[in-house]
Every structure is written in C-alpha cells, then in structure tokens.
Amino acid sequence: MSISLFCPHCARHTLASPARLFAIDEGGSSRAVTSAGERAIWTEPESPREWHMAVCNACMQPMLLATADNGTESELECIIPAPTPSPVDSRIPEPMLAALREAKVCLAAGANVAAAIMARRALEDFVNANGATGKNLFQKIDSLVNAQTITPAQRDLAHGTRMVGNDAAHGNGEEDPLRDVTKADAEEAVSFVETLCEQFYVQAAMAAAQAARRKK
C-alpha cells in the first residue's frame, strides 16, 4: 500500500510506503518486526486516531503520519517532519505570488482561517490586475465574466472563495467562529486561485517561451 502526499523532505508530491520496523536486542542483533507490505501502526487508547511510520518513495526519508481525529485513512497527514508549504510557480506575478505563498505557509501550519483570508486577498489582487470594475469584490468578479475574461464556472468558484474568505475574516458570532472554515474549505480556495493564476500567467509564459524557441 502506498500513500499519496507532499513530502517535507524532498518538497515534492510523491508516494510513501509503509516503513519496515526492526527490533534490536542487547547484543546489537536486529530482526524484522514487520514484513514487506505490512504497516507499522500505533493507536491511541480510546481514540480512532492511528499513527503510521512511512518512507518517501522518492527520497527514502522516514515520516510519522497520523489520521484525522475521525480515523479516516484517506486523511493521513505528515506530522514529523513538520509539513512545508508546496511551492508556488514564480511566473505568477506580484502581488498574487506573495499572497499565494503566504496562504500555503498558513495551510502547512494548519491555520485554515488565515489561509482562506490570504486566498481571498490573492483573488482580489487577481481581479484588480485584470481590469475588473465595481465597488466590491462581488461586483468585480461579475464584471470579469461579463467581459469574458473568466468563465461562468470560474466566476462561481471565485464567489465561493470570496465567501470562504469573508467567513474567515468576520466569523459568524457564535461561540467558536473559527469552525466555519474547514481544512477542505481553505485548501479548495487556495487551489482555485493558484490554478486561476497558472492558467492566466504560467500558461502564457510557457506559450511565449515555446514561440521563442521555434523562432531560433
């Protein structure tokens, strides 16, 4: 069994395999505790949470992973070493680049509210850079779809990011306002704005570089 994740050691999206464990006796001799394909798991008493030892298939470095509190294996996260933010393509211009980088630092630290706020900021920077008009972000997003700068689907996702950012910034006045922004909310908002910027700026840079090579 392999686990898809972002490795903090080699900073790439890759697969991790279960680590084999060995016991060492007083004389220094070792014996395998787990065989190939078996997983080394530690469970918390009276908790569905599991802790896994794994090895990155790319750099062969070890990691300690843990499931979410509900014990769902699909939500395994790297605990040690501490997660590092995945890189943002440097061909995305400022100020979107800085906002997206900060958003990813927040995601890596588990600061979902802060990540959502930075995703909203990156989105507003994007619409401003692309000729949006209007008194607020809602109107600016709609102005871009009216100008056929973005598609209706992108408009809908942009409004979703706007609303998540608003929830993050203002809360809902309940006892625990931070619960309104989940990890999935924050990741989706950051991913959408990053993808939008890649479509507008990175693909344009790739096309220009390709055209330049053909002229040689």
Domain residue spans of the chain: 3-80, 96-215
Q: Against a cut of 0.85, is the pTM above it?
A: no
pLDDT score, position 24: 75
Fold observed for domain 96-215: Four Helix Bundle (Hemerythrin (Met), subunit A) (1.20.120)
pLDDT score, position 176: 53
pLDDT score, position 5: 77
CB 172 within 8 A of CB 99: no
Q: Which residues of the chain have pLDDT under 70?
A: 1, 30-40, 68-75, 78, 83, 171-179
DSSP β-ladder status, 22-24 and 62-66: unpaired
Residues contacting 171, CB < 8 A, separation 6+: 177, 178, 180
